[in-house]
A and B are shown apart, each in its own frame.
Chain A
Amino acid sequence: MGKKEIDIEIDRLTNSIENSVTGEVFDTQVVQLRKSDKKNINPAEWLFDWEAELDLSNREVFKLTTANNPKIIHGLLSVEDKSDHIFIHLVESANFNKGTNKMYFGVAGNLFSFACKVSFEKGYEGYVAFDSKSALIEHYKKKLGATHFKGQRMYIETVNALELVKKYFQD
């Protein structure tokens, strides 16, 4: 990705997710995936083709796991460095974290927060851009502080990006 590589510090960023049944909170980490990690992704368990995503040289793929069980992937994120903002190509929670009976809350929020953090680290002042399904635009505004740009295009700007990062990093 680009000329400026992401610091190891944010490669191993720790947040948390919450068990939807017990309310128990688990520390998580976001770690970059390499091509050699393809074997750890079972295509049958994911909607998007993450193996193909790992082959794209201009993108970086990250996995979110709990800190004590790094083998179970709770969510995946694909981003591209656009030189002045971070563009989110894909975000997906694992099957067990989807739907009304999702096992853990906070997976996607965690990954969006991470994307904002990457943007700050690269000097892009937190700016993150992505597309939303039409039906989700209002939810992204409300939950992530995202702003509607046009059509399905959305972005998170500096102030709300900081708020999102704070939600996951500040007591």
Chain B
Amino acid sequence: MSIVKEPKGIDFVVKSEPWSDEELKEFRKLMKKRKSELGEKKRSKIKENYKKVSKQPV
């Protein structure tokens, strides 16, 4: 396990503005494309890896 440290003097503060319907549509299209590029096999492997990680005792 490691810790993601913010760079010195930087604070990761987020205040998101609502995304427009058009932006969401574009983002969904992009997600679809990225998932397709990744391929079913790799996506399944990632899901399996995630399950292993999430099952680890904390």
Q: Which residues of B contact A105 (CB under 8 A)?
A: 3, 5-6
Q: Does A36 contact B (CB under 8 A)?
A: no
Q: Mark B3-26, 1 if CB is under 8 A from A, else 0.
A: 111111111111111010001101
Across the interface, A88 reaches (CB within 8 A) one of B6, B16, B46, B54, namely: B16
Cβ of A162 and Cβ of B15 under 8 Å apart? no
Considering only residues 51-109 of chain A, those with a C-beta below 8 Å from chain B are: 82, 84-85, 87-93, 98-100, 102, 105-106, 108-109
Q: Mark A11-38, 1 if CB is under 8 A from B, else 0.
A: 0011111100000010100000000000
Known: A109-B6, A120-B54. A130 touches B16 (CB 8 A): yes
Chain B: residues with CB nearer than 8 A to chain A?
1-17, 19, 23-24, 26-28, 30-31, 34-35, 38, 43, 46-47, 49-50, 53-54, 56, 58
Would you mind naming 29 contact pairs between A and B with Cβ atoms under 8 Å apart?
Answer: A16-B1, A17-B3, A25-B3, A27-B58, A87-B16, A88-B16, A89-B14, A89-B15, A90-B15, A93-B13, A102-B6, A108-B13, A110-B3, A117-B54, A120-B50, A121-B54, A125-B43, A131-B17, A139-B6, A143-B4, A143-B5, A143-B7, A149-B27, A153-B27, A158-B38, A159-B46, A162-B50, A165-B54, A171-B1
